């Protein structure tokens, strides 16, 4: 063994060992799917290394060299290499039914692959024969069979090289390196063939090719991203369909040319090897062509079959199926188009756009374009209106996709008539956002609308435009319901809604807020003056002429609140208009415009109400008593109970918390507490020997409450106060507005001996004529009359008249608010029996008032009030 032989052997074994090591390590760290492939490649490396070294050390002689153990092992290693390449290719395919098939196309890919491999091998063999096998054969003088056996290695290499070439198309990144390794071995085996026949050592070319093969195997162990980077430069098409077929065809052409060249150059065409190889190539080629023809036929049949299935499906489905060409001209329409009044044949040739609603056309054109340009199989959805034969419009939901047919590309459209659903949806929306009684939009609608107007304003659009809201409440509508019934009340609301809608320009929203309240959203374009004009017109629409329902004319007025967006946050528009309306209602004016103070008032009153509720529960309210005196004698004949509330440190004026109590309904509980405390106090005074009368104030709301008379009688019984000692003070409104039930309740109490006083007489609409409806015991002349005594002759005359009429009717008269001695003098002169006022005595606590009591336990009777002038006269009160 020479030094160079030993060196080559050492080099081959070393490179093989390195390749083995690298591949084995990669098999442990790599993805599981390629683990075994790397192990197989490692095995191939070690077998190749061994057989190359043996070939180096013991160059075989002819024939036998192919059949040594090393030779056979090298052949087996080829099979292992192919399996490894197949596994690598499979690992990089997406998991699909076709996964693992190299060029998964139709039937028999394995056969196709083998045929292409054979064609490549045979063709390259012919070329190789012309290049150097032929001359080696002639020189060696061995039999054809023996020579063929010697060519076993290179030919097997060639066949497998062609066969696994298909995997290059499927996943070239993974199969390229093993394939190149096989190419190097093929080269080495081809170069070694003549040397083997001659029994000499393989030449330098063979040795280098073998080393290259081992190095390429080792490179297979490189991590994938490194391989990717290395191969980035040699970027080729990912998909490489028919690569093996193309290579086989090119190789066959090269073989044919070589054969012609060989014959023309004087070589023997009848040379058996060339004849057999050429014949085989032709046979394989014929088989391959037959396979292609068969495949084409099967494909055409499949097309036709799927076309038939498509038609059958299209004819049966209730959806409309339309095929258009890529210019959107209808080529086929399914019988379901009959539901739009069309015959299928009649609309073939019609452009799709002619059927689509003009407003949907632009969108439609866009969708069609994107469907025709998009990849086949991608579905686009589109809703539009379609004209039917009778000119009506139908709502369709459709899906579009490119559809490939033997004749070319089409647009496949399937569509469903959803007109019924659309109509239903509209109806539901209408019901959700409209008021059934008036047909106007409802509260939900106008709130939504106001919200989006606010968003528009916030976004800075609608510049310069004033949005405004108007609230309208019908005054006294509850009374209408009570007097003519709810049915007629509904009718009146519907009439009111029509009137309101008629006076508001169409671009603004008029809605029913609920009950007898309506709201108007004045939108962009109206300035403050126009808004107020609209509000005035709304007021006129309600008050202008009476409503005619249930055969009666009913006159109503409306309280109207206006909120302008200018100075208020737009999202509070409706709420502010509501606040302004409440103010209009209280103020009695027709139109109120919201200002920020109103909202603060509302908040304060709400807070006050909740504090008052607590104060009532905790019995924090107190009573003061103001004496009522006999003017002639200055003797105290009774006291008026007046409620007081100190919330924390602050004294809340009665007018303020009483109106809150009225509004919130707390007045019921409050009044009950006052009545009970006042009666208990009076009863205590009676028990102590001072049989004073006591007056308690009641509002309309209090006396209207069910069971009012029972409550009063109950408290009297509880406290043991004689009914005649109690005077109920009610205002004139009770007589004017009071329903029959109130009059009945008060009359019943009077029959029990309870006395009735009309408070603040002269301020309302009451005239003495009302007194016939409900007999009263006392009238209290309002302080505004007394204040005018001595300065206003008319007031003096009116006061004198009230005093005289009272006396004539046998009703006691109390003058309230006496502050000046002259007033007292004049009242005495008029013959007014009783009086009350700061001049006589201020309201004070029970302890203070007892000074005027008599006879007190251990005290003297009837202390006269200091200012009073003695003139004994029978008192009516007490």
- Between CA 528 and CA 127 the distance in angstroms is 100
- C-beta separation of 60 from 254 below 8 A: no
**Least separation in angstroms between CB 503 and Ca ion:** 42
The residue among 122 and 658 lying less far from ligand C2E, judged by its C-beta, is 658
- C-beta separation of 466 from 565 below 8 A: yes
The residue among 473 and 732 lying less far from Ca ion, judged by its C-beta, is 732
**Least separation in angstroms between CB 783 and ligand C2E:** 6
The residue among 697 and 699 lying less far from Ca ion, judged by its C-beta, is 697
What is the DSSP secondary structure assignment for residue 406, as one 8-state letter?
T
> Which entry of Ca ion, ligand C2E, none binds 134, CB below 5 to 8 A by partner kind?
none
From candidates 51, 692, 697, 823, binder to Ca ion by CB under 5 A: 697
- C-beta separation of 320 from 334 below 8 A: yes
The residue among 189 and 729 lying less far from Ca ion, judged by its C-beta, is 729
**Least separation in angstroms between CB 823 and Ca ion:** 15
The residue among 1 and 655 lying less far from ligand C2E, judged by its C-beta, is 655
> Which entry of ligand C2E, Ca ion, none binds 837, CB below 5 to 8 A by partner kind?
ligand C2E
What is the DSSP secondary structure assignment for residue 768, as one 8-state letter?
G
> Which entry of ligand C2E, Ca ion, none binds 178, CB below 5 to 8 A by partner kind?
none
**Least separation in angstroms between CB 774 and ligand C2E:** 18
> Which entry of Ca ion, ligand C2E, none binds 441, CB below 5 to 8 A by partner kind?
none
> Which entry of Ca ion, ligand C2E, none binds 671, CB below 5 to 8 A by partner kind?
ligand C2E
Residues in the chain: 878
- Between CA 128 and CA 192 the distance in angstroms is 13
- Half-sphere exposure (CA, 13 Å, Cβ side) for 787? 4
- Between CA 144 and CA 156 the distance in angstroms is 17
Determine the angle formed by the axes of helices 654-664 and 596-617, rounding to 10 degrees: 90
**387 - beta bridge partners?**
393
What distance lies between CA 265 and its chain's CA centroid? 85
**Least separation in angstroms between CB 760 and ligand C2E:** 6
Is 113 a binder of Ca ion (CB under 5 A)? no
Which range touches Ca ion (CB under 5 A), out of 15-23, 494-502, 771-779, 812-820?
812-820
> Which entry of ligand C2E, Ca ion, none binds 819, CB below 5 to 8 A by partner kind?
ligand C2E
- Between CA 693 and CA 638 the distance in angstroms is 4
Sign of CA dihedral 732, 734, 737, 743: negative
**Least separation in angstroms between CB 818 and ligand C2E:** 6
The answer for residues whose C-beta is within 8 angstroms of residue 3's C-beta and 6 or more apart is none
Q: Which of 654, 643, 637 is nearest to 845 (CA)?
A: 643
**Least separation in angstroms between CB 623 and ligand C2E:** 8
Cβ-count burial of 870 within 10 angstroms (0-12 exposed, 13-18 middle, 19+ buried)? Answer: exposed
Which range touches Ca ion (CB under 5 A), out of 564-572, 627-635, 721-729, 866-874?
721-729
Cα-Cα-Cα-Cα torsion 11, 15, 20, 25, nearest 10 degrees, comes to: 130
**Least separation in angstroms between CB 811 and ligand C2E:** 17
- Between CA 337 and CA 335 the distance in angstroms is 5
- Between CA 25 and CA 219 the distance in angstroms is 12
The residue among 189 and 759 lying less far from Ca ion, judged by its C-beta, is 759
**Least separation in angstroms between CB 863 and ligand C2E:** 19
Is 43 a binder of Ca ion (CB under 5 A)? no
**Least separation in angstroms between CB 659 and ligand C2E:** 10
The residue among 322 and 639 lying less far from Ca ion, judged by its C-beta, is 639
DSSP 3-state of 280: helix
DSSP 3-state of 785: helix
**Least separation in angstroms between CB 729 and Ca ion:** 4
Ramachandran angles phi, psi of 179, nearest 5°: -65, -45
The residue among 436 and 866 lying less far from ligand C2E, judged by its C-beta, is 866
- Between CA 712 and CA 242 the distance in angstroms is 109
**Least separation in angstroms between CB 642 and Ca ion:** 8
**Least separation in angstroms between CB 780 and Ca ion:** 5
> Which entry of Ca ion, ligand C2E, none binds 473, CB below 5 to 8 A by partner kind?
none
**Other C-beta atoms within 10 Å of 537: how many?**
15
> Which entry of ligand C2E, Ca ion, none binds 838, CB below 5 to 8 A by partner kind?
ligand C2E
Ramachandran angles phi, psi of 730, nearest 5°: -125, 155
Which range touches Ca ion (CB under 5 A), out of 290-298, 398-406, 680-688, 752-760?
752-760
The residue among 319 and 732 lying less far from ligand C2E, judged by its C-beta, is 732
- Between CA 843 and CA 640 the distance in angstroms is 8
The residue among 54 and 639 lying less far from ligand C2E, judged by its C-beta, is 639
The residue among 109 and 668 lying less far from ligand C2E, judged by its C-beta, is 668
- Between CA 19 and CA 37 the distance in angstroms is 14
Which two tokens mark 366?
Answer: 């866009």
> Which entry of ligand C2E, Ca ion, none binds 102, CB below 5 to 8 A by partner kind?
none
- Between CA 457 and CA 463 the distance in angstroms is 8
> Which entry of ligand C2E, Ca ion, none binds 643, CB below 5 to 8 A by partner kind?
ligand C2E
Which two tokens mark 857?
Answer: 């336990």
Instruction: List strand residue ranges (DSSP E) for 350-446, in order.
Output: 380-387, 393-405, 408-417
Which range touches Ca ion (CB under 5 A), out of 58-66, 195-203, 694-702, 802-810?
694-702
**Least separation in angstroms between CB 732 and ligand C2E:** 12
The residue among 320 and 786 lying less far from Ca ion, judged by its C-beta, is 786
Is 731 a binder of Ca ion (CB under 5 A)? no
The answer for residues whose C-beta is within 8 angstroms of residue 832's C-beta and 6 or more apart is 631, 781, 799, 803, 813, 815
- Between CA 77 and CA 70 the distance in angstroms is 10
The residue among 526 and 670 lying less far from ligand C2E, judged by its C-beta, is 670
The residue among 176 and 678 lying less far from ligand C2E, judged by its C-beta, is 678
The site for ligand C2E (CB under 6 A) is made up of: 626, 642-643, 654-655, 658, 671, 674, 697-699, 702, 729, 759-760, 783, 817-819, 836-838, 843
Cα-Cα-Cα-Cα torsion 290, 296, 301, 306, nearest 10 degrees, comes to: 150
> Which entry of ligand C2E, Ca ion, none binds 194, CB below 5 to 8 A by partner kind?
none
Q: Which residue has the tokens 């009914």?
A: 723
The residue among 66 and 697 lying less far from Ca ion, judged by its C-beta, is 697
Buried b (16+ CB within 10 A) or exposed e, 806-835: bbeeebbbbbbbbebeebbebbbebebbbb
- Between CA 71 and CA 40 the distance in angstroms is 18
Instruction: List strand residue ranges (DSSP E) for 150-267, in order.
Output: none
> Which entry of Ca ion, ligand C2E, none binds 843, CB below 5 to 8 A by partner kind?
ligand C2E
The residue among 119 and 811 lying less far from Ca ion, judged by its C-beta, is 811
> Which entry of Ca ion, ligand C2E, none binds 291, CB below 5 to 8 A by partner kind?
none
> Which entry of ligand C2E, Ca ion, none binds 638, CB below 5 to 8 A by partner kind?
none
From candidates 360, 417, 732, 760, binder to Ca ion by CB under 5 A: 760
Antiparallel, parallel or unpaired: β 635-647 and 650-652 = antiparallel
From candidates 592, 624, 729, 850, binder to Ca ion by CB under 5 A: 729
DSSP 3-state of 523: strand
Is 759 a binder of Ca ion (CB under 5 A)? yes
The residue among 489 and 783 lying less far from Ca ion, judged by its C-beta, is 783
**Least separation in angstroms between CB 635 and ligand C2E:** 18
The residues that touch Ca ion, with contacts defined as CB under 5 A, are 697, 729, 759-760, 816
């Amino acid at each position: 063994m020479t030094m160079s032989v030993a060196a080559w052997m050492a080099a081959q074994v070393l490179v093989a060992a390195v390749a083995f090591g690298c591949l084995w390590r990669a098999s442990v760290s790599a993805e599981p799917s390629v683990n075994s492939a790397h192990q197989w490649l490692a095995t191939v490396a070690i077998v190749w290394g061994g057989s190359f070294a043996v070939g180096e050390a013991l160059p075989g002689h002819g024939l036998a060299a192919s059949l040594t153990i090393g030779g056979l092992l090298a052949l087996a290693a080829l099979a292992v290499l192919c399996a490894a390449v197949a596994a690598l290719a499979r690992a990089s395919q997406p998991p699909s039914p076709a996964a693992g098939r190299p060029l998964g196309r139709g039937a028999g890919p394995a056969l196709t692959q083998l045929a292409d491999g054979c064609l490549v091998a045979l063709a390259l063999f012919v070329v190789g024969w012309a290049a150097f096998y032929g001359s080696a054969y002639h020189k060696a003088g061995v039999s054809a069979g023996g020579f063929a056996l010697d060519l076993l290695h290179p030919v097997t290499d060639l066949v497998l090289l062609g066969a696994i070439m298909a995997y290059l198309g499927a996943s070239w990144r993974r199969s390229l390196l093993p394939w190149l390794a096989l190419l190097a071995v093929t080269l080495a085996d081809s170069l070694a063939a003549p040397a083997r026949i001659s029994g000499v050592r393989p030449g330098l070319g063979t040795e280098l090719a073998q080393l290259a093969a081992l190095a390429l195997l080792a490179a297979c162990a490189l991590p994938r991203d490194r391989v990717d980077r290395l191969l980035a430069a040699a970027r080729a098409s990912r998909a490489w369909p028919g690569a093996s077929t193309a290579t086989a065809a090119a190789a066959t052409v090269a073989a044919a040319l070589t054969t012609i060249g060989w014959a023309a150059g004087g070589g023997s065409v009848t040379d058996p090897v060339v004849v057999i190889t050429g014949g085989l190539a032709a046979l394989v080629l014929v088989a391959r062509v037959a396979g292609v023809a068969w495949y084409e036929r099967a494909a055409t049949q499949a097309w036709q079959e799927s076309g038939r299935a498509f038609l059958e499906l299209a004819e049966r489905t209730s959806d409309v199926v339309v095929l258009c060409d890529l210019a959107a001209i209808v080529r086929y329409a399914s019988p379901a188009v009959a539901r739009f009044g069309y015959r299928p044949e009649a609309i073939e040739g019609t452009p799709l756009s002619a059927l689509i609603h003009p407003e949907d056309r632009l969108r439609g054109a866009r969708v069609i374009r994107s469907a025709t340009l998009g990849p086949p199989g991608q579905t686009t959805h589109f809703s539009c209106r379609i004209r039917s034969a009778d000119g009506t419009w139908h709502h369709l939901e459709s899906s579009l996709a490119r559809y490939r047919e033997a004749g070319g590309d089409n647009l496949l459209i399937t569509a469903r008539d959803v007109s019924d659903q659309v109509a239903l949806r509209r109806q539901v929306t209408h019901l959700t956002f409209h008021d059934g009684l008036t047909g106007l939009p409802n509260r939900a609608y106008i709130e939504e609308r106001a919200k989006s107007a606010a968003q528009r304003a916030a976004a800075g659009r609608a510049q310069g435009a004033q949005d405004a809201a108007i609230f309208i409440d019908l005054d006294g509508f509850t009374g209408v319901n009570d007097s003519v019934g709810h049915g007629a009340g509904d009718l009146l609301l519907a009439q009111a809604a029509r009137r309101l809608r008629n006076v508001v320009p169409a671009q603004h929203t008029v809605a029913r807020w609920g009950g007898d309240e309506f709201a108007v959203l004045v939108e962009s374009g109206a300035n403050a003056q126009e808004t107020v004009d609209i509000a005035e017109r709304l007021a006129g629409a309600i008050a202008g002429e009476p409503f005619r329902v249930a055969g009666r004319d009913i006159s109503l007025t409306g309280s109207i609140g206006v909120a302008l967006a200018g100075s208020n946050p737009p999202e509070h528009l409706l709420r502010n208009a509501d606040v302004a309306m409440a103010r209009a209602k209280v103020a009695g004016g027709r139109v109120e415009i919201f200002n920020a103070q109103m909202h603060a008032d509302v908040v304060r009153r709400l807070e006050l109400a909740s504090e008052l509720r607590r104060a009532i529960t905790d019995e924090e309210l107190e009573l003061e008593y103001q004496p009522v005196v006999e003017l002639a004698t200055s003797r105290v004949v009774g006291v008026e109970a007046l409620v007081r509330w100190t919330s924390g440190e602050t004294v809340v004026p009665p007018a303020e918390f009483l109106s809150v109590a009225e509004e919130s309904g707390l007045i019921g509980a409050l009044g009950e507490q006052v009545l009970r405390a006042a009666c208990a106090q009076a009863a205590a005074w009676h028990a102590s020997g001072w049989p004073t009368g006591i007056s308690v104030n009641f509002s309309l709301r209090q006396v209207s409450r069910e069971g009012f008379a029972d409550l009063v009688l109950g408290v009297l019984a509880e406290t043991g106060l004689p009914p005649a000692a109690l005077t109920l003070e009610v205002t004139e409104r009770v007589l004017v507005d009071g329903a029959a039930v109130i009059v009945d309740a008060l009359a019943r109490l009077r029959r029990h001996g309870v006395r009735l006083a009309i408070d603040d007489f002269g301020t309302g609409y009451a005239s003495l004529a009302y007194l016939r409806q409900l007999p009263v015991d006392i009238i209290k002349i309002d302080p505004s009359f007394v204040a005018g005594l001595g300065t206003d002759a008319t007031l003096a005359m009116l006061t004198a008249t009230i005093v005289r009429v009272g006396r004539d009717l046998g009703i006691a008269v109390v003058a309230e608010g006496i502050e000046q001695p002259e007033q007292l003098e004049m009242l005495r002169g008029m013959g007014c029996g009783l009086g009350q006022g700061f001049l006589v005595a201020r309201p004070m606590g029970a302890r203070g008032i007892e000074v005027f009591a008599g006879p007190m336990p251990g005290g003297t009777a009837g202390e006269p009030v200091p200012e009073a002038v003695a003139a004994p006269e029978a008192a009516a009160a007490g």
